[in-house]
């Protein structure tokens, strides 16, 4: 057993004990033993989920990071079969020099393949390629109701199709994914051609996104949610494509590190306001084109390891919602207004467009529309009050929240927003249970 783990937001504080699993063939036995000892458990990847969806109801995790081997790969077609504990970081280091990249990547490369599948993660190219699960052809699933030494159940659209659909975005509850097969995306260069443009209001963002997203593989915007008055809704829009030629070079910069947790949060109104103003003015008013390395385009936050410690011992929560196209502009304006009124700015405020490519997963988060993600230091009742206001806006607009980032969603909301939860519950491995599932499926 190793040291206690927490989720990325370090809230809610339910320290977890873990047992690592080193061999694919041992997953079944580990599952059986831990279920017997602790009643239930949860598979764990690299803990990059913010809230309580990666925390076990029993506080006991099966750590799958050590399962990080390539099982089979065809560099002609870009089809790779790898163990579920492999991180995107390790996969990119292998694939990129050969002209392949992950088809969908979240904003950190320190997630595992198993974690990416269980949350059916999305990237800056959802409008073009859908979510991670769209690119996973098959995976091997180990369940506690199978004899422990039997090989994993192979799940695909044609083999155990119900388990396939329930596991993609299934929050780690339908079994342990031991391996998965992913179709990589061909690229000609590790550089990204980026167009950056400042915008002065939310309507300008929607106009830019409408005009530019379709011509770009990637798009994202940062928004200054502390700006008020005439500056309200200002931000910076970024669109990118893989460059057509250039090196295929893996990033090797040594990241910085936040060594300890400060006694109080370093992310407060004043530091955020300073950062936001600086960031906004660091970009030109007109469009600017430049080439950047893939790591600075996709993973700016990975430059500082353990940046989550900056929020202090109380941790933080991310609020990420998706709002359907028709309601998006008005609802996002209302959300930002509520945040500004509560005088609780967010360090990270990100807007992305979701396309309409359906996910094979039953509980997948994206819906055709716009997603907004905001980070808030955990401030007890004040955070709860603000989130209740934001939830009402999301509900009214026909949107929903992202379980991978969540620590507060009401059970009634989850059940209304994800009606397929009952199908997933029926297919849940009886030995697997999470804090999130306990909270959100309560009657
Ligand atoms: C800086 C940052 C940026 C992010 N940006 C994005 C983004 O742009 N888009 C996005 O979608 N997400 C984003 N995320 C969230 C992150 O991508 C997801 O939470 C991801 O699922 C975390 O993967 P993990 O390997 O750390 O898994 P964990 O957080 O450890 O676990 C996540 C879930 O996967 C399950 N799981 C893990 N391994 C297995 C397995 N082998 N078998 C079965 N279940 C398993 C766990 O039970 C849990 O339910 C971001 C997170 C951070 C910290």
Mark whether 214 and 173 lie in a shared domain: no
Mark whether 76 and 129 lie in a shared domain: yes
Band of the pLDDT at 258, cuts 50, 70, 90? confident
Q: Residue 284: CB partners within 8 Å, gap ≥ 6?
A: 196, 198
> What confidence score (pLDDT) does residue 268 get?
73
> What confidence score (pLDDT) does residue 272 get?
74
Mark whether 130 and 165 lie in a shared domain: yes
Residue 173 maps to which CATH number?
3.30.465.10
> What confidence score (pLDDT) does residue 218 get?
98
* Mean pLDDT, rounded, for 139-167: 97
- Is a pLDDT exceeding 90 seen at residue 328? yes
Instruction: Out of 166, 187, 208, pick the residue that ends a domain.
Output: 187
> What confidence score (pLDDT) does residue 29 get?
97
Q: Is 111 in the pocket of ligand 1 (CB under 6 A)?
A: yes
- Is a pLDDT exceeding 90 seen at residue 344? no
Mark whether 289 and 204 lie in a shared domain: yes
443, part of any domain: no
288, part of any domain: yes
- Domains in the chain, number: 2
Most ligand 1 atoms within 8 A of CB, residue of 9, 27, 41, 48 to mutate: 48
Give 259-317 pLDDT, tens digit per residue: 888 877 777 777 777 777 777 777 777 889 999 999 999 999 999 899 899 888 899 99
Q: What is the dihedral of CA 49, 54, 59, 63, to 10 degrees?
A: -100
Q: Is 404 in the pocket of ligand 1 (CB under 6 A)?
A: yes
Give 73-131 pLDDT, tens digit per residue: 999 999 999 999 999 999 999 999 999 999 999 999 999 999 999 999 999 999 999 99
Give 2-52 pLDDT, tens digit per residue: 567 999 999 999 999 999 999 999 999 999 999 999 999 999 999 999 999
DSSP 8-state class, residue 434: B
Residue 43, strand partner residues? 62
Write down the pTM of the prediction.
0.97
Higher pLDDT, 233 or 179: 179
Closest ligand 1 atom, residue 120 Cα: 11
Task: Write down the mean pLDDT value for the chain.
Answer: 94
Closest ligand 1 atom, residue 365 Cα: 11
Q: 144 lies in which domain range?
A: 70-187
**Listed residue (238, 376, 390, 261) closest to 317, CA to CA:** 376
Q: Is 322 in the pocket of ligand 1 (CB under 6 A)?
A: no
> What confidence score (pLDDT) does residue 247 get?
97
112, part of any domain: yes
* Mean pLDDT, rounded, for 379-385: 94
**Listed residue (92, 95, 94) closest to 106, CA to CA:** 92
b/e per residue, 381-391, with b = 16+ CB within 10 A?
A: eebeebbeebb
- Ligand 1 centre to CA of 63 (Å) is 13
Mark whether 211 and 323 lie in a shared domain: yes
> What confidence score (pLDDT) does residue 443 get?
76
- Ligand 1 centre to CA of 111 (Å) is 6
- Ligand 1 centre to CA of 122 (Å) is 11
Mark whether 384 and 239 lie in a shared domain: yes
Q: Is 64 in the pocket of ligand 1 (CB under 6 A)?
A: yes
- Ligand 1 centre to CA of 141 (Å) is 17
Strands 316-324 and 400-401 come out as antiparallel
**Residue 439 to residue 369: CA distance in whole angstroms:** 27
**Residue 362 to residue 170: CA distance in whole angstroms:** 7
Mark whether 240 and 364 lie in a shared domain: yes
Whether omega before 243 lies within 30 degrees of 0, making that bond cis, reads no
Mark whether 177 and 212 lie in a shared domain: no
Band of the pLDDT at 68, cuts 50, 70, 90? very high
- Ligand 1 centre to CA of 290 (Å) is 31
- Is a pLDDT exceeding 80 seen at residue 400? yes
Residue located nearest, by CA, to atom 19 of ligand 1: 49
Q: Is 96 left (phi over 0), alpha (psi -120 to 50) or beta?
A: alpha
- Ligand 1 centre to CA of 189 (Å) is 27
Mark whether 168 and 314 lie in a shared domain: no
Residue 359 maps to which CATH number?
3.30.70.2520
Band of the pLDDT at 207, cuts 50, 70, 90? very high
Residue located nearest, by CA, to atom 18 of ligand 1: 49
Most ligand 1 atoms within 8 A of CB, residue of 118, 307, 321, 352 to mutate: 118
Q: Is 209 in the pocket of ligand 1 (CB under 6 A)?
A: no
203, part of any domain: yes
């Amino acid at each position: 057993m190793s040291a206690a783990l927490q989720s990325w937001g370090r809230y809610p504080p339910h320290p977890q004990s873990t047992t690592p699993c080193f061999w694919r063939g041992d997953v079944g036995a580990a599952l059986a033993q831990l279920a017997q000892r602790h009643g239930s458990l949860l598979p764990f990847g690299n803990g990059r989920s913010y809230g309580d969806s990666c925390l076990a109801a029993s506080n006991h995790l099966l750590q799958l990071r050590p399962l990080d081997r390539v099982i089979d790969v065809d560099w002609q077609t870009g089809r790779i079969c790898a163990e579920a504990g492999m991180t995107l970081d390790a996969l990119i280091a292998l694939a990129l020099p050969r002209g392949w990249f992950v088809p969908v990547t979240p904003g950190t490369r320190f997630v595992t393949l198993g974690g990416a599948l269980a949350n059916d993660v999305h990237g800056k190219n959802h409008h073009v390629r859908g979510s991670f699960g769209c690119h996973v052809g098959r995976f091997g699933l180990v369940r506690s109701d199978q004899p422990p030494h039997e090989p994993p159940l192979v799940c695909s659209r044609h083999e155990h199709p119900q388990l396939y659909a329930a596991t993609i975005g299934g929050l780690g509850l339908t079994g342990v994914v031991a391996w998965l097969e992913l179709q990589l995306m061909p690229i000609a260069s590790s550089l990204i051609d980026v167009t950056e443009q400042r915008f002065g209001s939310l309507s300008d963002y929607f106009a830019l996104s409408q005009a530019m997203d379709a011509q770009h593989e990637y798009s994202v915007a940062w928004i200054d949610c502390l700006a008020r008055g005439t500056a309200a809704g200002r931000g910076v829009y970024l669109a990118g494509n893989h460059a057509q030629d250039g090196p295929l070079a893996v990033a090797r910069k040594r990241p910085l590190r936040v060594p300890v947790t400060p006694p109080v949060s370093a992310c407060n109104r004043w530091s955020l306001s300073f950062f936001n103003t600086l960031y906004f003015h660091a970009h030109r008013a007109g469009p600017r084109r430049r080439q950047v390395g893939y790591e600075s385009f996709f993973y700016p936050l990975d430059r500082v390891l353990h940046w989550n410690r900056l929020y202090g011992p109380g941790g933080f929560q991310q609020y990420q919602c998706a709002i359907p196209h028709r309601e998006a502009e008005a609802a996002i304006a209302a959300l930002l207004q509520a945040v500004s009124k509560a005088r609780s700015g967010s360090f990270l405020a990100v807007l992305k467009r979701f396309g309409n490519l359906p996910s094979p997963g039953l509980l997948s988060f994206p819906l055709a529309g716009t997603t907004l993600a905001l980070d808030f230091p955990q401030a007890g009742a004040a955070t709860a009050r603000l989130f209740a206001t934001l939830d009402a806006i999301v509900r009214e607009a026909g949107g929903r929240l992202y379980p991978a980032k969540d620590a507060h969603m009401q059970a009634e909301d989850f059940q209304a927003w994800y009606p397929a939860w009952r199908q997933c519950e029926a297919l849940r491995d009886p030995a697997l249970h999470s804090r999130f599932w306990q909270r959100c499926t309560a009657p």
